[in-house]
Structure 1
Amino acid sequence: MDDHPEDVAHRMGLHVIRRRLPGTMWGATDGHATIWIDDRLGQTEVRCTLAHELIHVHARHATCQTPKVERWVRRRTAEWLIPWEHLWENRHSADLYDIADRLDVTRHVLLDRLHHLTDHQKCKLTEGHAP
């Protein structure tokens, strides 16, 4: 999945419905035809939530998932939305909010991406050498 989440949802023929979701829930899916996104979210949060739910659809998840599966989905979402090259281009900023803003992702997605860097990528970022 190299495209933008909105394009992927459209191509897949999914119905994306913006409505008030219960509690602190940002998104949900039935696993094959519909994705619900909370109507209180801003543009960046919608993009990240839609990507997250598309990963669930791609994996055919139709119900609530275990914490282990959710971690897997969060990792895949972060890797999709933040390719290594984009992270590398923003390596000089120490402000996570600034980097997240530049990459059009939430701070949580950025943290998920940083958490799952390979050892090689961590060394490159720390040393400041080209990938």
Structure 2
Amino acid sequence: MFDPWGALRRLTHIHISFIRMPDGVPGRTDGLRVIWLDKRLQQDERRCALAHELVHMERGHDGCQSPGIEYQVCVETARRLILIEDLCSSAAWARSHQEHAEDLWVTPEVLTHRLTSLTPNETAQLSLVEHQNR
């Protein structure tokens, strides 16, 4: 499982600032040295927002991105945070989308991005698990 906090520890030039985001977004980055996270976020939300901003930084993004770029970052964030093995394991018993997200330690939105971007092979793996549990 991808650990965004561990990745951040290796990136010693990046500073995290916990603030009350004025526009309600969970996080933002300048693309170089600073990631701002909303201090009102829960632990799973902080984890997801940090991973998301790290992907932006890796790609050299600063400022607002187009919806297409933002979607690509959301999908990459979800793929890093949710391995297919973990997704299948949790799907075997989770009774709701919320419960599934909680088990995977992600937000429901990140889980949705992961589910909607499955490869054909991943879809087959997940379908097999779901079929076995009917």
Same fold per superposition (TM over 0.5): yes
Q: Does 1:56 align with 2:56?
A: yes
Partner SS state of residue 90, structure 1: helix
Partner SS state of residue 61, structure 1: coil
1:18-97 to 2 correspondence within 5 Å? 18-92=18-92, 93-97=94-98
TM-score calculated relative to the size of structure 1: 0.92
Partner amino acid for 2:99?
D
Partner amino acid for 1:47?
R
- Distance in 2 (CA, whole Å) between partners of 1:98 and 1:122 is 20
- Distance in 1 (CA, whole Å) between partners of 2:15 and 2:2 is 17
- 2:26/2:38 contact within 8 Å kept: yes
- Residue deviations 1:86-118, cap 9 Å, x none? 111112224111111111000000000000001
Structure 1: state its 5+ residue gaps: none
- Distance in 2 (CA, whole Å) between partners of 1:41 and 1:116 is 25
Shift of 1:62: 1.3
Q: Does 1:124 align with 2:125?
A: yes
**Residue number in structure 1 paired with 2:6:** 7
Deviating above 2 A after TM superposition, structure 1's stretches of 4 or more consecutive aligned residues are 127-130
Shift of 1:3: 4.0
Shift of 1:122: 1.5
Partner amino acid for 1:99?
H
- Distance in 1 (CA, whole Å) between partners of 2:2 and 2:106 is 15
Partner amino acid for 1:62?
D
Partner SS state of residue 36, structure 1: strand
Identity of aligned residues (%): 37
- Distance in 2 (CA, whole Å) between partners of 1:74 and 1:116 is 10
Q: Which range moved further: 7-16 or 50-59?
A: 7-16
Structure 2: state its 5+ residue gaps: none
TM-score calculated relative to the size of structure 2: 0.90
- Distance in 1 (CA, whole Å) between partners of 2:23 and 2:83 is 31
Shift of 1:35: 0.1
The CA RMSD measured in Å over matched residues stands at 1.6
Q: Does 1:108 align with 2:109?
A: yes
Equivalent residue pairs, number: 129
Shift of 1:84: 0.8
- Distance in 1 (CA, whole Å) between partners of 2:10 and 2:89 is 30
